[in-house]
Amino acid sequence: MQVLWVAAVLLSVNLSAASAQSYPDRPIKVLVPYPAGGPTDTVARSITQSLATDLGQSVIIENQAGAGGRLAMKTVARAAPDGYTLLVGGTNNNAITPALYKELDFDAEKDFAPVAAIASDSMVLVVNPNLPVKTLAELVAYAKGNPGKLSSGGGIGIAPHFLLEFVRVKSGTNIQFVPYRGAMPAMTDAIGGQIQMHASAKVLLLPQILSGKLRALAVASEQRWPELPDVPTLTEAGMPGFPSAIWYGLLAPAGTPAPVVAKINAAVNARLKTPDMQASLAKLYLDPRPLAPEQFGKVLAEDTRQWGALAKETGIKLE
C-alpha cells in the first residue's frame, strides 16, 4: 500500500512538471472584477500585454464587473485549476471582501492560489480647500466644534471607504459618510463642496491636490509622498494603525499546479524589473512589487487580518 501511495505521488509530481513544460498551449483568460478604465483594469492591461510576449500565448482580458468584484471572484474560484483562468485581485478583493460579506458562496482565501504580486498603491485623505483646516488635527477640532456639518464620501466597501470611517472613529466625530457609485463622482463633489472630505488613490487625487482643487491632510502610506513632502503620514498625524498599502496581483484557482504558478510568477517578476514596465506603473504612481507566490500569500493573509479588524472597528458591514 505504501509503495502504491508513493507511486501515486510521484506520478502526480511528474504530471505537474509535464503540464508546466507545455504551459501555456492555448490562450490565457485574465478576469478583472471591475469595469474597464479603472486602476485595477489599467494594472491588468499593463502586465498582461507583456505576459503574452513572455509566455508565447495570447492573454485575453475579460472585465466581469458586478457585485463589488464578487462575480469575477466566483468565476475564477470555480474555474479549472490549470493556469488558464486568472484573477487580478489583491487587497480590495481577497482581503476586504471577506471582511464585509459573511454570506459568500466561495472562500476568498482558500479558493485562490497566490500567483504573483504586481504593484502596491496608497491613498490620501483630502478636503475641500475652502474648509478652514490645514491639518488632520484641525479637521478633528473643526468637526467637534461644528457637529453634523461635515460629510465625507466615496465608493462603498472599498479601501477609501475604510479610510474615511477610520478617521471618523479614531477622532470620535460624527462626520457623515455619503455613498457614491465610484470615486470620480465623489471627487467631483469634493471639489465642488457638496461633501467636505474624500479619500482615494494617488493617481486620481494627486493632480487635484497639486492644482489646488483639493487639500491633502495625510497620506496612508509608510512614508511621505515625494510629491507632497509637507503632508504627513496618518501615523505622523496621530492616527496610527491603518494599512500602509493596497496590493494588486494575480491569483489562480486553488489547486493550480505549483510548476504552472512558478512559471507565471517568473514571467511577471521578470517583467516588473524592466524599465518599460516600471515606467508604465510609475504613470499610475504604483510601486512594482515582485514577490514569490509564498510571499504574496503572506501579504494577503496579513491584509485579511488587518482589514477584518478594521471592519469590526469601523462597523462597516455589507450584505
CATH of segment(s) 123-220: 3.40.190.10
Nearest Cα residue to 243 out of 100, 109, 92, 89 = 92
SS3 246: strand
| Residues contacting residue 67 through CB under 8 Å, at least 6 positions apart | none
| CA gap 121, 285 in Å, rounded | 7
Say what the pTM is. 0.87
Q: Provide the residue ranges of all domains of the chain, joining segments of one domain with +.
A: 24-120+246-314, 123-220
Judge contact between 214 and 131, C-beta under 8 A.
no
- In the structure, what pLDDT confidence band is assigned to residue 35 with cuts at 50, 70 and 90? confident
Tens digits of residue pLDDT in 150-200:
999 998 888 999 999 999 999 999 999 999 988 889 999 999 999 999 999
pLDDT of residue 183: 86
The type of residue at 147 is P
| CA gap 296, 276 in Å, rounded | 23
**Radius of gyration for the alpha carbons in the chain, expressed in angstroms and rounded:** 21
pLDDT of residue 34: 85
Q: Which fold has domain 24-120+246-314?
A: D-Maltodextrin-Binding Protein; domain 2 (3.40.190)
Whether 123-220 and 24-120+246-314 are alike in CATH topology: the answer is yes
How much is the mean pLDDT over the chain?
91
Bridging pattern class, strands 112-121 and 287-288: antiparallel
C-alpha 148: how far from its chain's center? 31
| Residues contacting residue 318 through CB under 8 Å, at least 6 positions apart | 68, 100, 101, 156, 157
| CA gap 278, 282 in Å, rounded | 6
SS3 37: coil
**96-105, 112-121, 184-193, 233-242: least confident range:** 96-105
- In the structure, what pLDDT confidence band is assigned to residue 10 with cuts at 50, 70 and 90? very low
Please, what sign has the CA dihedral across residues 204, 209, 212, 213? positive
